[in-house]
Amino acid sequence: MAVMTAAEVNPTLLAWAREQSGYAPETVAKRLGVKPDRLEAWERGDLKPTVRQAQELAKYYHRPFGVLFLPQPPVVAPLASEYRRLPGVQPGVESPEFRLALRVMLQRRQVTLELSEELGQAWPEFTTSAHQSDGASKVGQRLRSALGVTIEQQLAWRDEWQAWREWRAAVENAGVLVFQFPKVPLEQARGVSLFEFPVPVVGINSKESSPGARVYSLLHELVHVALAVGRDEQVALTERRSAAEWRELERFAEEAASEAIIPDSALQEQLRRTSVARDAWDVRQVRALASKFRVTPLAMATRLRSAGAFTWAGYQLWKSAWDDFVASLPARKGGIATPVDKTLGRAGRPFSQLVLEALDANRITAVDASRYLDLKFDHVEKLRAELGEARAGASGTDDGE
């Protein structure tokens, strides 16, 4: 019979890693196929897991195996001191999936700063600020100006996927890292922004299948970043607005994002070509107008409301009709994304390019590159080819999941 070797792990670190990952003891015990009281005995130091079990724990917690042997837990800032307040997400009790997503994005930001310094590259600084007192319309116009996207370019885009790629590139060029995060339910978070400066981060939920919805979430989160630059918003841990005040801020961000994506001058030009009375817009008409700007019908309806084409009551009626329409649609069948597609979608092109440049300059190892990109080294050359095609003018992937 084979002898099971006990792992001389620090029991305090076992408890710390589980708690930091947001898992209940029962969940972890079930995953490992042991009883909860055995897991608790490991964390008290009464028993020790085998080496294999300790490795499984480290893998499940997404921590290096060596962390479990440290003399004391690392000092880490609460995640809620990094991200903006989100509806329905209570600081300190985030889901394990969301915690992991935040950790990965924060790690990629840190890698970006370190590699940029190693290579002598300067990352642009995002300095556009916003205040609620400025008004949503002015903030939206300010953001669009900062991103440098013209209405002529936007109307010439081929489809919503190109719109997503172009808006994402514009935000990244302005000095904001844009990542996508997987495995988090949309009900938890469609997007999130990390108030880390000088290089803030916007994260978009990759479960959002519509590229137009990703664009809207991207600009919505960028409004929150601009509010943080203007010191008009704080991280979730210290945000003190009441629930009513927070709803008002979210509505402000919605309207500012809508103005940034659909400028009033361009919208009014389109409205002059129609003869739809106020509150008379139906689902078909809003969809047709939305397609011109490569946005979702819901984003267009929000913009029509702020432009006065809908009253609030009229918008609510339209929204009810829209929800019924969406419910009647057949389930969307997603394609199968390649490993390179997933890396480009989640990590982004600037980050991926930076890692490859650091690898070529011998500043990092192949193992480092694979870990940073979450990509097997066998696929790294395919990633390099994809990035080369994009620079040559090819359309690239849809950055989907």
Query: Residue 111 CB: number of other CB atoms within 10 A?
Result: 20
Q: Read off the pLDDT of residues 265-290 as tens digits, 9 standing for 90 and up.
A: 999 999 988 889 999 999 999 999 99
Rounded percentage of the chain residues whose pLDDT exceeds 90: 83
Q: Read off the pLDDT of residues 353-362 as tens digits, 9 standing for 90 and up.
A: 999 999 999 9
Query: Which residues, 6+ apart, have CB-to-CB distance to 1 below 8 Å?
Result: none
Q: Is 143 exposed, middle or buried (0-12, 13-18, 19+ CB in 10 A)?
A: buried
Q: Which residues pair with 180 in a beta bridge?
A: 204
Nearest-angstrom CA–CA distance, 320 and 315 = 9
Q: Read off the pLDDT of residues 194-239 as tens digits, 9 standing for 90 and up.
A: 999 999 999 999 998 789 999 999 999 999 999 999 999 999 999 9
Q: Which residues pair with 166 in a beta bridge?
A: none
Q: Which helix or strand (DSSP H or E) is residue 249 part of?
A: helix 243-261
Confidence of residue 147 (pLDDT cuts 50, 70, 90): very high
Query: Residue 97 CB: number of other CB atoms within 10 A?
Result: 16
Q: How far apart are the first and last CA of the chain?
A: 45
Whether the predicted model's global pTM rises above the 0.85 cut: yes
Rounded percentage of the chain residues whose pLDDT exceeds 70: 95
Q: Work out the mean pLDDT of the chain and round it to a whole number.
A: 92
Query: Residue 333 CB: number of other CB atoms within 10 A?
Result: 6
The string of DSSP codes covering 198-235 is SS-EEEEETT---HHHHHHHHHHHHHHHHHHHTTS--B
Whether 399 has a pLDDT exceeding 70, the answer reads: no
Query: Residue 290 CB: number of other CB atoms within 10 A?
Result: 21
- Segments in 62-124 forming alpha helices (H): 96-119
Nearest-angstrom CA–CA distance, 260 and 145 = 9
Confidence of residue 83 (pLDDT cuts 50, 70, 90): very high
Nearest-angstrom CA–CA distance, 189 and 224 = 14
Q: Read off the pLDDT of residues 3-58 as tens digits, 9 standing for 90 and up.
A: 578 899 999 999 999 999 999 999 999 999 999 999 999 999 999 999 999 999 99
Mean pLDDT, residues 243-262: 94
From 102, 237, 234, select the one nearest 179 (Cα to Cα).
Answer: 102
Q: How many residues does the chain have?
A: 401
Query: Do the beta carbons of residue 334 and residue 400 sit within 8 Å?
Result: yes
Which amino acid, residue 324?
D
Prior bond of 198 cis (ω within 30°): yes
Query: Which residues, 6+ apart, have CB-to-CB distance to 264 below 8 Å?
Result: 137, 307
Query: Residue 152 CB: number of other CB atoms within 10 A?
Result: 8
From 297, 291, 293, 257, select the one nearest 152 (Cα to Cα).
Answer: 293
Classify strands 177-181 and 201-205 as parallel, antiparallel or unpaired.
Answer: parallel
Whether 391 has a pLDDT exceeding 90, the answer reads: no
User: According to the model, what pLDDT value does residue 333 have?
Assistant: 66
Question: How is residue 336 written in tokens?
Answer: 């199968």
From 217, 126, 212, 227, select the one nearest 177 (Cα to Cα).
Answer: 126
Nearest-angstrom CA–CA distance, 294 and 262 = 10
> 3-class DSSP state for residue 73?
coil
The helix, strand and coil proportions of the chain, stated in percent and rounded to the nearest 5, come to: 60, 5, 35
Query: Which residues, 6+ apart, have CB-to-CB distance to 237 below 8 Å?
Result: 78, 80, 81, 91
Nearest-angstrom CA–CA distance, 8 and 66 = 11
Whether 397 has a pLDDT exceeding 70, the answer reads: no
Which amino acid, residue 201?
V
Q: How many helices (H) and strands (E) in the chain?
A: 18, 3
User: According to the model, what pLDDT value does residue 4 have?
Assistant: 75
Whether 331 has a pLDDT exceeding 90, the answer reads: no
Whether 398 has a pLDDT exceeding 60, the answer reads: no
Question: How is residue 133 written in tokens?
Answer: 């007192």
Q: Read off the pLDDT of residues 337-382 as tens digits, 9 standing for 90 and up.
A: 899 999 999 999 999 999 999 999 999 999 999 999 999 988 999 9
